[in-house]
Amino acid sequence: MQKIGLIGGMSWESSALYYRLLNEQVRDRLGGLHSAACIMTSVDFAEIERMQSSGQWDAAGDLLAREARALQSAGADIVVLCTNTMHKVARYIEDALDVPFLHLVDTTADAIRSAGVSKVLLLGTRFTMEEPFYRERMEARGVSVIVPSDPDRAVINRVIYDELVLGDVNDASRRAFRRVIAAGVRDGAEGVILGCTEIELLISQGDAEVPVFASTSLHATAAVDAAFSHAR
């Protein structure tokens, strides 16, 4: 298989999930003692969050582009960005690379379309839910996106930044997310995107009556597929 390059650290909790998923899938495909051929660079999330909060997206894009080039120089054949929100600056990474960049929104949209779903509820950070970069790329691939109400967006964002990125997973927050998902279904959502990598630590298919599209798991699967399909 080809070597997968991971831009991680946003947060390290979700990066650990990526690493586990990649290795589990390679083990399941090849058996025995096999594990994924991968290399990870991990940034300081406090620095990234400061850039997010202050609107320094160009600086964040430049930083992640440097990390992507470092992965390529270290032998990565495919690069993935282990975060939903920072796909806002994915073009910086794509422009910096000569190897393929596997875009998380594309892999998630493809899975949604394959499931026959056309309208989804998007859960993620405020940046992901409120800014157009995620929704527009989804809609370009034929998927209609709705987001929770403003108070519910505030709850979701708080749980992500104050709990999940710190590894704090609790039942009260799970109940809050279930309520938000149920409201989205009443508003016509046929599925729900877990559009923040850490949400998969809290929510699974059993928490919704509609299909759940876990972006991290889908992205990891697509990375392994690509690594095997382009193997030398």
List the pLDDT tens digit at each of the 232 positions of the chain: 899 999 999 999 889 999 999 999 999 999 999 999 999 999 999 999 999 999 999 999 999 999 999 999 999 999 999 999 999 999 999 999 999 999 999 999 999 999 999 999 999 999 999 999 999 999 999 999 999 999 999 999 999 999 999 999 999 999 999 999 999 999 999 999 999 989 999 999 999 999 999 999 999 999 999 999 865 5
Residues 77 and 61 in one domain: yes
Distance in angstroms (rounded) separating the CA atoms of residues 73 and 92: 17
Strand order in the sheet with 144-146: 144-146, 119-123, 191-194, 212-214
Residues 97 and 111 in one domain: no
Radius of gyration, alpha carbons of the chain: 17
Residues 40 and 25 in one domain: yes
Residues 132 and 86 in one domain: no
Residues 24 and 126 in one domain: no
Question: Which among 66, 59, 113, 57 has a CA at the least distance from the CA of 85?
Answer: 57
For the whole model, what pTM was predicted?
0.93
Provide the pLDDT for residue 229. Answer: 87
Residues 9 and 109 in one domain: no
Residues 9 and 66 in one domain: yes
Q: Are strands 144-146 and 119-123 parallel, antiparallel or unpaired?
A: parallel
Give catalytic status of residue 82 as yes or no: no
Residues 83 and 123 in one domain: no
Residues 92 and 174 in one domain: no
Question: Which among 15, 64, 59 has a CA at the least distance from the CA of 40?
Answer: 15
Give the tokens for residue 108: 């998630």
**Phi, psi (deg, nearest 5) at residue 170:** -135, 160
Residue 13 belongs to domain spanning: 4-103+217-229
Residues 147 and 222 in one domain: no
Catalytic residue among 41, 83, 107, 128: 83
Residues 98 and 123 in one domain: no
Distance in angstroms (rounded) separating the CA atoms of residues 124 and 129: 6
Provide the pLDDT for residue 231. Answer: 57
Residues 160 and 93 in one domain: no
Q: How many domains does the chain have?
A: 2
Helix (H) / strand (E) containing 20:
helix 12-30
Give the tokens for residue 153: 């967006």
Give catalytic status of residue 83 as yes or no: yes
Distance in angstroms (rounded) separating the CA atoms of residues 184 and 30: 39
Report the CATH number that the domain containing residue 153 is assigned in CATH: 3.40.50.1860
Catalytic residue among 108, 196, 197, 216: 196
Write the DSSP symbol of residue 3. Answer: P
